[in-house]
Amino acid sequence: MYLICNVYIISVQLSILRMSSIESLGQKILLGTSGWDYEDWVGPFYVSNERKLSLYSQVFKTVEIDSTFYSFPTPNFIRGISRIVPKDFKFSVKLPKEITHKKLLDVKEGALDDLNRFLHILSPLEEDGKLGALLIQMPPKEKYLMFKNFKEFISDIDVERYDFVAEFRDKSWLDDEVLKLLRAYKVSFCVVDEPLLPPLLEVTGRIAYVRWHGRGNRPWYYYEYREEELVEWVPRLVKLVQDVEVLYGYFNNHFRGYAPKNALQMLKLLGIANTSQEEVLKQVLGYFDKQFVNHIKERGSDVLSKDDLNLMLSLFIDKRRLERAIEDIDKVRVTEIGCEIICGTVKEYVFEISLKEKRIFHDCEDWKKRASAKQFCKHIGSVLLYLSKEISINILKDIIRNIDDWTFQTS
Protein backbone atom coordinates (compact mmCIF):
# COMPACT_ATOMS: atom_id res chain seq x y z
CA MET A 1 0.00 0.00 0.00
CA TYR A 2 2.69 2.45 1.00
CA LEU A 3 4.86 1.48 -1.92
CA ILE A 4 1.95 2.03 -4.27
CA CYS A 5 1.23 5.36 -2.59
CA ASN A 6 4.84 6.50 -2.87
CA VAL A 7 5.09 5.55 -6.52
CA TYR A 8 1.82 7.34 -7.08
CA ILE A 9 3.00 10.47 -5.28
CA ILE A 10 6.16 10.55 -7.35
CA SER A 11 4.21 10.26 -10.59
CA VAL A 12 1.76 12.94 -9.45
CA GLN A 13 4.63 15.19 -8.42
CA LEU A 14 6.29 14.71 -11.79
CA SER A 15 3.09 15.73 -13.53
CA ILE A 16 2.91 18.76 -11.26
CA LEU A 17 6.43 19.66 -12.32
CA ARG A 18 5.41 19.36 -15.95
CA MET A 19 2.31 21.46 -15.39
CA SER A 20 4.12 24.30 -13.71
CA SER A 21 7.10 24.85 -11.49
CA ILE A 22 6.91 23.81 -7.86
CA GLU A 23 7.39 27.44 -6.81
CA SER A 24 4.34 28.67 -8.66
CA LEU A 25 2.33 25.75 -7.34
CA GLY A 26 3.46 26.70 -3.83
CA GLN A 27 2.14 30.18 -4.47
CA LYS A 28 -1.19 28.94 -5.78
CA ILE A 29 -1.95 26.35 -3.10
CA LEU A 30 -2.32 27.99 0.31
CA LEU A 31 -2.91 25.54 3.12
CA GLY A 32 -3.49 26.19 6.79
CA THR A 33 -5.89 25.45 9.62
CA SER A 34 -9.32 26.57 10.80
CA GLY A 35 -8.39 28.81 13.71
CA TRP A 36 -5.03 29.17 15.40
CA ASP A 37 -5.79 29.88 19.05
CA TYR A 38 -5.99 26.44 20.65
CA GLU A 39 -4.56 25.62 24.08
CA ASP A 40 -3.85 22.00 23.16
CA TRP A 41 -1.55 23.07 20.34
CA VAL A 42 0.94 24.17 22.98
CA GLY A 43 3.34 21.24 22.88
CA PRO A 44 2.74 19.74 19.46
CA PHE A 45 2.88 23.07 17.59
CA TYR A 46 3.41 26.10 19.85
CA VAL A 47 6.07 26.43 22.48
CA SER A 48 3.90 28.58 24.76
CA ASN A 49 0.53 30.31 25.00
CA GLU A 50 2.07 33.62 23.91
CA ARG A 51 2.03 35.21 20.45
CA LYS A 52 0.26 32.32 18.80
CA LEU A 53 -0.81 34.10 15.60
CA SER A 54 2.64 35.56 15.11
CA LEU A 55 4.21 32.09 15.38
CA TYR A 56 1.49 30.52 13.26
CA SER A 57 2.01 33.04 10.46
CA GLN A 58 5.72 32.28 10.38
CA VAL A 59 4.82 28.72 9.37
CA PHE A 60 1.61 28.99 7.32
CA LYS A 61 0.57 31.58 4.73
CA THR A 62 -3.13 31.46 5.50
CA VAL A 63 -5.68 30.76 8.22
CA GLU A 64 -9.45 30.51 8.35
CA ILE A 65 -11.12 32.59 11.05
CA ASP A 66 -13.96 30.58 12.56
CA SER A 67 -14.67 32.77 15.61
CA THR A 68 -16.48 35.25 13.34
CA PHE A 69 -19.20 32.63 12.97
CA TYR A 70 -20.18 33.02 16.62
CA SER A 71 -20.13 36.82 16.77
CA PHE A 72 -19.16 39.83 14.67
CA PRO A 73 -15.51 40.65 15.32
CA THR A 74 -14.53 44.04 16.71
CA PRO A 75 -12.69 46.46 14.38
CA ASN A 76 -9.79 46.42 16.87
CA PHE A 77 -9.46 42.66 16.62
CA ILE A 78 -9.35 42.82 12.82
CA ARG A 79 -6.81 45.68 12.78
CA GLY A 80 -4.74 43.82 15.39
CA ILE A 81 -4.50 40.53 13.53
CA SER A 82 -3.71 42.29 10.28
CA ARG A 83 -0.74 44.03 11.92
CA ILE A 84 0.64 40.77 13.35
CA VAL A 85 1.00 38.72 10.17
CA PRO A 86 3.41 39.12 7.22
CA LYS A 87 2.44 41.07 4.13
CA ASP A 88 1.51 38.08 1.96
CA PHE A 89 -0.59 36.32 4.62
CA LYS A 90 -4.29 35.68 3.87
CA PHE A 91 -7.23 35.39 6.25
CA SER A 92 -10.29 33.55 5.03
CA VAL A 93 -13.29 34.49 7.12
CA LYS A 94 -16.48 32.65 7.97
CA LEU A 95 -19.69 34.66 7.81
CA PRO A 96 -21.47 35.19 11.16
CA LYS A 97 -24.23 32.70 11.99
CA GLU A 98 -26.51 35.71 12.46
CA ILE A 99 -26.51 35.93 8.66
CA THR A 100 -26.41 32.26 7.64
CA HIS A 101 -28.14 30.38 10.47
CA LYS A 102 -30.46 32.89 12.14
CA LYS A 103 -31.58 35.04 9.23
CA LEU A 104 -31.07 32.10 6.84
CA LEU A 105 -29.62 34.52 4.24
CA ASP A 106 -33.04 36.15 3.95
CA VAL A 107 -32.55 39.53 2.29
CA LYS A 108 -35.90 40.75 3.65
CA GLU A 109 -34.70 39.95 7.17
CA GLY A 110 -31.67 42.19 6.64
CA ALA A 111 -29.07 39.50 5.82
CA LEU A 112 -27.39 41.76 3.25
CA ASP A 113 -27.25 44.71 5.66
CA ASP A 114 -25.53 42.45 8.16
CA LEU A 115 -23.13 41.29 5.48
CA ASN A 116 -22.24 44.88 4.60
CA ARG A 117 -21.64 45.67 8.27
CA PHE A 118 -19.41 42.59 8.48
CA LEU A 119 -17.46 43.53 5.34
CA HIS A 120 -16.96 47.03 6.69
CA ILE A 121 -15.38 45.59 9.84
CA LEU A 122 -13.12 43.43 7.65
CA SER A 123 -12.02 46.39 5.52
CA PRO A 124 -8.56 46.73 7.18
CA LEU A 125 -7.76 43.20 5.95
CA GLU A 126 -8.91 44.13 2.47
CA GLU A 127 -6.89 47.37 2.47
CA ASP A 128 -3.78 45.46 3.60
CA GLY A 129 -4.27 42.84 0.87
CA LYS A 130 -4.73 40.15 3.52
CA LEU A 131 -8.34 39.18 2.92
CA GLY A 132 -8.68 35.67 1.49
CA ALA A 133 -12.08 34.12 0.88
CA LEU A 134 -15.42 34.70 2.61
CA LEU A 135 -17.05 31.46 3.65
CA ILE A 136 -20.82 31.18 3.54
CA GLN A 137 -21.33 28.07 5.61
CA MET A 138 -24.90 26.95 5.15
CA PRO A 139 -26.92 25.46 7.98
CA PRO A 140 -27.56 21.70 7.64
CA LYS A 141 -30.94 22.30 5.99
CA GLU A 142 -32.38 20.68 2.92
CA LYS A 143 -32.19 22.63 -0.32
CA TYR A 144 -35.92 23.29 -0.71
CA LEU A 145 -35.98 25.15 2.62
CA MET A 146 -33.35 27.73 1.67
CA PHE A 147 -32.71 27.72 -2.07
CA LYS A 148 -34.76 30.83 -2.74
CA ASN A 149 -33.00 32.78 0.03
CA PHE A 150 -29.62 31.53 -1.15
CA LYS A 151 -30.29 32.55 -4.74
CA GLU A 152 -31.44 36.04 -3.79
CA PHE A 153 -28.54 36.52 -1.42
CA ILE A 154 -25.77 35.54 -3.83
CA SER A 155 -27.34 37.51 -6.67
CA ASP A 156 -26.85 40.65 -4.58
CA ILE A 157 -23.32 40.23 -3.25
CA ASP A 158 -20.25 41.86 -4.77
CA VAL A 159 -18.50 38.88 -6.34
CA GLU A 160 -16.11 41.03 -8.36
CA ARG A 161 -14.64 42.53 -5.22
CA TYR A 162 -14.77 39.51 -2.89
CA ASP A 163 -14.15 35.78 -3.22
CA PHE A 164 -17.26 34.17 -1.76
CA VAL A 165 -17.37 30.43 -1.10
CA ALA A 166 -20.47 28.38 -0.32
CA GLU A 167 -20.27 25.31 1.89
CA PHE A 168 -23.29 23.02 1.86
CA ARG A 169 -24.13 20.70 4.70
CA ASP A 170 -26.87 18.62 3.17
CA LYS A 171 -26.66 16.28 0.16
CA SER A 172 -29.78 17.78 -1.44
CA TRP A 173 -27.70 20.83 -2.45
CA LEU A 174 -25.24 18.80 -4.50
CA ASP A 175 -26.98 19.03 -7.86
CA ASP A 176 -26.58 20.70 -11.24
CA GLU A 177 -29.01 23.51 -10.50
CA VAL A 178 -26.94 24.69 -7.53
CA LEU A 179 -23.61 24.30 -9.36
CA LYS A 180 -24.99 26.23 -12.34
CA LEU A 181 -26.15 29.01 -10.04
CA LEU A 182 -22.73 29.19 -8.36
CA ARG A 183 -21.02 29.42 -11.76
CA ALA A 184 -23.42 32.12 -12.93
CA TYR A 185 -22.65 34.27 -9.89
CA LYS A 186 -18.93 33.28 -9.59
CA VAL A 187 -19.38 31.93 -6.10
CA SER A 188 -16.88 29.16 -5.34
CA PHE A 189 -17.93 25.71 -4.23
CA CYS A 190 -16.45 24.45 -0.97
CA VAL A 191 -14.98 20.97 -1.37
CA VAL A 192 -15.17 18.99 1.87
CA ASP A 193 -13.69 15.94 3.51
CA GLU A 194 -16.18 14.75 6.13
CA PRO A 195 -18.25 11.66 6.97
CA LEU A 196 -21.62 12.80 5.54
CA LEU A 197 -20.85 14.33 2.14
CA PRO A 198 -18.70 13.16 -0.78
CA PRO A 199 -15.58 15.12 -1.82
CA LEU A 200 -17.14 16.68 -4.91
CA LEU A 201 -14.32 18.30 -6.89
CA GLU A 202 -16.18 21.24 -8.42
CA VAL A 203 -14.72 24.58 -9.42
CA THR A 204 -17.38 27.26 -9.83
CA GLY A 205 -15.56 30.51 -9.11
CA ARG A 206 -12.15 32.19 -9.32
CA ILE A 207 -10.79 30.20 -6.41
CA ALA A 208 -10.92 26.64 -5.07
CA TYR A 209 -11.61 26.03 -1.40
CA VAL A 210 -11.19 22.81 0.59
CA ARG A 211 -12.09 22.07 4.21
CA TRP A 212 -10.91 18.92 5.98
CA HIS A 213 -13.32 18.38 8.87
CA GLY A 214 -12.02 14.96 9.96
CA ARG A 215 -13.58 11.54 9.72
CA GLY A 216 -14.23 10.79 13.37
CA ASN A 217 -17.43 10.25 15.32
CA ARG A 218 -18.91 12.95 17.50
CA PRO A 219 -17.14 15.27 16.89
CA TRP A 220 -15.80 14.65 13.39
CA TYR A 221 -12.89 16.95 13.92
CA TYR A 222 -11.40 14.88 16.72
CA TYR A 223 -9.47 13.00 14.10
CA GLU A 224 -5.95 12.54 12.83
CA TYR A 225 -5.70 11.92 9.10
CA ARG A 226 -3.42 9.03 8.27
CA GLU A 227 -0.82 9.63 5.59
CA GLU A 228 -2.57 7.36 3.10
CA GLU A 229 -5.75 9.42 3.55
CA LEU A 230 -3.82 12.62 2.83
CA VAL A 231 -2.20 10.99 -0.22
CA GLU A 232 -5.69 10.54 -1.76
CA TRP A 233 -5.95 14.32 -1.79
CA VAL A 234 -2.73 15.03 -3.73
CA PRO A 235 -4.18 14.40 -7.22
CA ARG A 236 -7.47 16.06 -6.17
CA LEU A 237 -5.71 19.29 -5.18
CA VAL A 238 -3.60 19.21 -8.33
CA LYS A 239 -6.77 18.85 -10.39
CA LEU A 240 -8.60 21.64 -8.54
CA VAL A 241 -5.77 24.16 -8.76
CA GLN A 242 -5.44 23.86 -12.53
CA ASP A 243 -8.48 26.03 -13.21
CA VAL A 244 -8.20 28.68 -10.52
CA GLU A 245 -6.11 31.63 -9.40
CA VAL A 246 -5.62 30.23 -5.91
CA LEU A 247 -6.64 27.23 -3.83
CA TYR A 248 -7.26 27.72 -0.12
CA GLY A 249 -7.36 24.60 2.04
CA TYR A 250 -7.96 24.39 5.79
CA PHE A 251 -7.72 21.55 8.28
CA ASN A 252 -10.48 21.83 10.88
CA ASN A 253 -9.49 18.70 12.87
CA HIS A 254 -8.00 20.91 15.54
CA PHE A 255 -7.93 18.58 18.57
CA ARG A 256 -4.50 17.84 20.04
CA GLY A 257 -2.67 19.66 17.24
CA TYR A 258 -3.73 17.26 14.49
CA ALA A 259 -4.70 20.12 12.15
CA PRO A 260 -1.26 21.80 11.84
CA LYS A 261 0.39 18.37 11.65
CA ASN A 262 -1.87 17.25 8.79
CA ALA A 263 -1.59 20.60 6.98
CA LEU A 264 2.21 20.40 7.05
CA GLN A 265 2.13 16.76 5.93
CA MET A 266 -0.10 17.74 3.01
CA LEU A 267 2.30 20.51 1.95
CA LYS A 268 5.13 18.00 2.04
CA LEU A 269 3.18 15.39 0.08
CA LEU A 270 2.48 18.02 -2.57
CA GLY A 271 6.20 18.76 -2.72
CA ILE A 272 5.66 22.43 -1.85
CA ALA A 273 6.73 22.58 1.81
CA ASN A 274 9.43 25.20 2.33
CA THR A 275 12.47 24.67 4.54
CA SER A 276 10.88 26.13 7.65
CA GLN A 277 7.69 24.10 7.15
CA GLU A 278 9.78 20.93 6.78
CA GLU A 279 11.63 21.83 9.96
CA VAL A 280 8.42 22.50 11.93
CA LEU A 281 6.90 19.26 10.61
CA LYS A 282 9.92 17.36 11.95
CA GLN A 283 9.41 18.95 15.37
CA VAL A 284 5.68 18.20 15.34
CA LEU A 285 6.27 14.57 14.32
CA GLY A 286 8.96 14.29 17.01
CA TYR A 287 6.45 15.52 19.58
CA PHE A 288 3.86 12.93 18.53
CA ASP A 289 6.51 10.14 18.57
CA LYS A 290 7.42 11.09 22.12
CA GLN A 291 3.76 10.91 23.13
CA PHE A 292 3.66 7.24 22.05
CA VAL A 293 6.76 6.44 24.08
CA ASN A 294 5.38 8.34 27.10
CA HIS A 295 2.14 6.40 26.80
CA ILE A 296 4.08 3.10 26.93
CA LYS A 297 5.92 4.35 30.03
CA GLU A 298 2.72 5.51 31.74
CA ARG A 299 0.74 2.35 31.04
CA GLY A 300 3.76 0.02 31.34
CA SER A 301 3.60 -1.05 35.00
CA ASP A 302 -0.13 -1.68 34.85
CA VAL A 303 0.21 -3.77 31.68
CA LEU A 304 3.21 -5.71 33.04
CA SER A 305 1.20 -6.82 36.07
CA LYS A 306 -1.04 -8.87 33.75
CA ASP A 307 0.32 -11.65 31.54
CA ASP A 308 -1.90 -10.62 28.67
CA LEU A 309 -0.26 -10.70 25.21
CA ASN A 310 -3.01 -8.69 23.50
CA LEU A 311 -2.89 -6.01 26.16
CA MET A 312 0.88 -5.70 25.77
CA LEU A 313 0.61 -5.59 22.00
CA SER A 314 -2.00 -2.82 22.24
CA LEU A 315 0.74 -0.47 23.48
CA PHE A 316 2.57 -0.90 20.16
CA ILE A 317 -0.03 -1.50 17.50
CA ASP A 318 -3.45 -0.05 16.71
CA LYS A 319 -6.58 -2.11 16.15
CA ARG A 320 -6.50 -1.80 12.37
CA ARG A 321 -2.91 -3.02 12.07
CA LEU A 322 -3.55 -5.77 14.61
CA GLU A 323 -6.39 -7.13 12.48
CA ARG A 324 -4.08 -7.23 9.46
CA ALA A 325 -1.35 -8.80 11.58
CA ILE A 326 -3.73 -11.64 12.50
CA GLU A 327 -4.52 -12.20 8.79
CA ASP A 328 -0.79 -12.54 7.97
CA ILE A 329 0.31 -14.91 10.76
CA ASP A 330 0.73 -17.77 8.26
CA LYS A 331 3.12 -15.63 6.16
CA VAL A 332 5.74 -15.66 8.95
CA ARG A 333 8.84 -17.80 8.35
CA VAL A 334 11.32 -18.12 11.22
CA THR A 335 14.84 -19.02 10.07
CA GLU A 336 16.64 -18.81 13.40
CA ILE A 337 15.31 -18.90 16.93
CA GLY A 338 17.46 -18.76 20.06
CA CYS A 339 17.31 -17.11 23.43
CA GLU A 340 19.23 -14.10 22.12
CA ILE A 341 18.08 -13.71 18.54
CA ILE A 342 15.05 -14.49 16.40
CA CYS A 343 15.24 -13.97 12.61
CA GLY A 344 13.00 -14.62 9.68
CA THR A 345 10.71 -13.13 7.07
CA VAL A 346 7.11 -12.01 6.70
CA LYS A 347 6.27 -12.10 3.01
CA GLU A 348 9.17 -10.31 1.26
CA TYR A 349 10.31 -8.44 4.38
CA VAL A 350 12.95 -9.52 6.86
CA PHE A 351 12.96 -9.14 10.63
CA GLU A 352 15.53 -9.68 13.34
CA ILE A 353 14.75 -9.41 17.05
CA SER A 354 17.84 -9.31 19.25
CA LEU A 355 17.08 -9.58 22.96
CA LYS A 356 20.76 -9.29 23.77
CA GLU A 357 21.23 -6.02 21.88
CA LYS A 358 17.65 -4.83 22.57
CA ARG A 359 17.06 -4.22 18.90
CA ILE A 360 14.41 -5.00 16.27
CA PHE A 361 15.45 -4.70 12.65
CA HIS A 362 12.80 -4.72 9.94
CA ASP A 363 12.52 -3.22 6.46
CA CYS A 364 8.94 -2.44 5.39
CA GLU A 365 7.82 1.11 4.60
CA ASP A 366 5.32 1.29 7.48
CA TRP A 367 8.01 0.23 9.96
CA LYS A 368 10.24 3.05 8.68
CA LYS A 369 7.47 5.53 9.47
CA ARG A 370 6.65 4.12 12.90
CA ALA A 371 10.04 3.09 14.24
CA SER A 372 10.84 6.52 15.72
CA ALA A 373 7.59 6.38 17.73
CA LYS A 374 8.50 2.83 18.91
CA GLN A 375 5.36 1.48 17.26
CA PHE A 376 5.00 -1.80 15.34
CA CYS A 377 3.92 -2.39 11.77
CA LYS A 378 1.55 -5.28 11.03
CA HIS A 379 4.45 -7.63 10.14
CA ILE A 380 6.11 -7.35 13.55
CA GLY A 381 2.62 -7.81 14.99
CA SER A 382 2.30 -11.05 12.95
CA VAL A 383 5.70 -12.25 14.20
CA LEU A 384 4.74 -11.75 17.86
CA LEU A 385 1.44 -13.51 17.29
CA TYR A 386 3.21 -16.38 15.50
CA LEU A 387 5.85 -17.05 18.16
CA SER A 388 4.87 -18.94 21.29
CA LYS A 389 2.98 -16.81 23.77
CA GLU A 390 5.74 -17.26 26.33
CA ILE A 391 8.47 -16.00 24.00
CA SER A 392 6.40 -13.02 22.79
CA ILE A 393 5.43 -11.96 26.30
CA ASN A 394 9.08 -12.21 27.30
CA ILE A 395 10.14 -9.94 24.42
CA LEU A 396 7.35 -7.43 25.04
CA LYS A 397 8.05 -7.29 28.78
CA ASP A 398 11.68 -6.46 28.06
CA ILE A 399 10.68 -3.73 25.59
CA ILE A 400 8.11 -2.21 27.98
CA ARG A 401 10.56 -2.23 30.91
CA ASN A 402 13.43 -0.80 28.86
CA ILE A 403 11.69 1.22 26.17
CA ASP A 404 14.44 3.86 25.99
CA ASP A 405 17.15 1.21 25.48
CA TRP A 406 15.43 -0.64 22.65
CA THR A 407 16.28 0.41 19.10
CA PHE A 408 13.72 -0.01 16.33
CA GLN A 409 16.09 -0.20 13.40
CA THR A 410 15.32 0.37 9.72
CA SER A 411 17.25 -0.35 6.53
Name the site residues for Zn ion (rule: CB under 5 A).
364, 367, 377, 379
8 Å CB contact between 165 and 208 = no
**Smallest gap from residue 396 Cβ to Zn ion (A):** 17
**Smallest gap from residue 109 Cβ to Zn ion (A):** 59
Q: How, if at all, do strands 131-137 and 62-65 pair?
A: unpaired
**Smallest gap from residue 378 Cβ to Zn ion (A):** 6
Q: How many residues does the chain have?
A: 411
**b/e string for 218-239 if b means 16 or more Cβ within 10 A?**
eebbebbbebeebbebbbebbe
Beta-ladder partners of 346:
332, 349
Distance (Å, whole) CA 276 – CA 268:
11
Distance (Å, whole) CA 383 – CA 337:
12
- Helix (H), strand (E), coil (C) string for 26-46: HHHEEEEEECCCCHHHECCCE
Q: Whose Cβ is closer to Zn ion: residue 36's or residue 316's?
A: 316
Distance (Å, whole) CA 50 – CA 37:
10
Q: Whose Cβ is closer to Zn ion: residue 39's or residue 348's?
A: 348
**Smallest gap from residue 383 Cβ to Zn ion (A):** 9
**Smallest gap from residue 325 Cβ to Zn ion (A):** 9
Q: Whose Cβ is closer to Zn ion: residue 37's or residue 318's?
A: 318
Distance (Å, whole) CA 53 – CA 74:
17
- 163, containing H or E segment: strand 163-167
Q: Whose Cβ is closer to Zn ion: residue 130's or residue 370's?
A: 370
Task: Please report how many Cα atoms fall inside a 13 Å half-sphere around the Cα of residue 42, on the Cβ side.
Answer: 9
**Smallest gap from residue 164 Cβ to Zn ion (A):** 48
Q: Whose Cβ is closer to Zn ion: residue 251's or residue 316's?
A: 316
**Smallest gap from residue 308 Cβ to Zn ion (A):** 23
Q: Whose Cβ is closer to Zn ion: residue 192's or residue 360's?
A: 360
**Smallest gap from residue 6 Cβ to Zn ion (A):** 15
Distance (Å, whole) CA 181 – CA 101:
21
Handedness of CA 34, 36, 42, 43 (dihedral sign): positive
Q: Whose Cβ is closer to Zn ion: residue 90's or residue 370's?
A: 370
Q: Whose Cβ is closer to Zn ion: residue 30's or residue 383's?
A: 383
Q: Find, among 25, 90, 79, the residue nearest to 56 by Cα.
A: 90
